[in-house]
Amino acid sequence: MHSSQSRSSGLPASPMLFQFEEVTKSYGAVVALDNLSVAVPSGAVGLLGPNGSGKTTMIRALLGLTRVDRGSGQVLGMDFRSRQLDIRRLVGFVPEDECLFPRVVGVEFVAYAGELVGMSSKDSLQRAHEVLDYVGLGEARYRKVESYSSGMKQRLKLASAIIHDPELLILDEPTNGMDPAGREDILELARDLARNKGMSLLFSSHLLPDVEAVCDQVVVLGGGKLLTAGNIQHLKHLHNRCFEVRLKADAAPFAERLSALGCTAEIRDDSLLVQIPEGRSQQLLWEVAAEQRLQIRNLRPQRSTLEEVFLKALEQA
Partner 1 sequence: MPIFDQGYQHWTGHLSGHAWRWLAITRHGVRVGMQGRVFRTVLLASLLPAAALAFALCLWGLVERNSDFVAPIVQFLISSRLLNPAVVADPRHYRVEIWTLCYNLFLSSELTLSMILIVLVGPDLISQDLRFNALPLYLSRPLRRIDYLVGKLGVIAAFLGLVTIVPCLLAYALGLLFSLDLTILRDTYRLLLASIAYGLVIIFSAGTLILALSSLSRNSRYVALFWLGIWIVSGIVATVLQSVDQVQRRQASFNRAMASPSASPTPQTLPERRRPRRGGTVTHRWSSEDFEAEEIEAAKTNWRPLVSYTANLSRVGRQLLGTDACWRTLSELEPAYGRKRYLHQYTGPQYPWYWSAGVLAGIFGLSACILSFSVRSLDRLR
Beta bridge partners of 300: 244
Q: Quick check: 197 binds partner 1 (CB under 8 A)?
A: yes
Half-sphere exposure of 147 (CA within 13 A, CB side): 10
Closest approach, Cβ 248 to partner 1, in A, equals 40
- Smallest gap, in angstroms, from Cβ of residue 24 to partner 1? 18
CB of 275 to partner 1, least distance (A): 44
The span from the CA of 206 to the CA of 157, in Å, is 20
CA–CA distance, 310 with 109 (Å, rounded to integer): 38
Query: Which one of residues 18, 20, 80, 93 is an interface residue with partner 1 (CB under 8 A)?
Result: 93
Question: Where is 189: in which H helix or E strand?
Answer: helix 180-195
- Tell which one of 8, 231, 292, 305 touches partner 1 (CB under 8 A): 8
Task: Tell me how far, at minimum, the Cβ of 2 lies from partner 1, in Å.
Answer: 13
Of 63-92, which residues contact partner 1 (CB under 8 A)?
A: 63, 65-66, 84-86, 88-89, 91
R_g of the chain computed on alpha carbons: 24
- Of 121 and 292, CB closest to partner 1: 121
Q: Residue 127, interface with partner 1 (CB under 8 A)?
A: yes
In whole angstroms, the minimum distance from the beta carbon of 51 to partner 1 comes to 13
Q: What is the closest distance, in whole angstroms, from the C-beta atom of residue 41 to partner 1 in the complex?
A: 21
CA 251/CA 181 separation, integer angstroms = 37
Q: How far apart are CA 256 and CA 39, in angstroms?
A: 48
96, 144, 195, 302: residue in contact with partner 1 (rule CB under 8 A): 96
Distance CA 31, CA 14 (A): 29
Interacting residue with partner 1 among 6, 14, 160, 271 (CB under 8 A): 160
Q: 30: which DSSP letter?
A: E
Among 238, 189, 226, 187, which Cα is nearest to 208's? 187
CA distances from 197 to 2, 43, 200, 205, 255 (A): 11, 11, 9, 22, 48
Indicate whether 149 belongs to the interface with partner 1 (CB under 8 A).
Answer: no
Number of residues that bind partner 1 (CB under 8 A): 60
Residues that bind partner 1 (CB under 8 A): 7-8, 56, 59-60, 63, 65-66, 84-86, 88-89, 91, 93, 95-104, 112-113, 115-121, 123, 127, 130-131, 133-136, 138, 146, 157, 160, 162-165, 172, 181, 185, 188-189, 192-193, 196-198
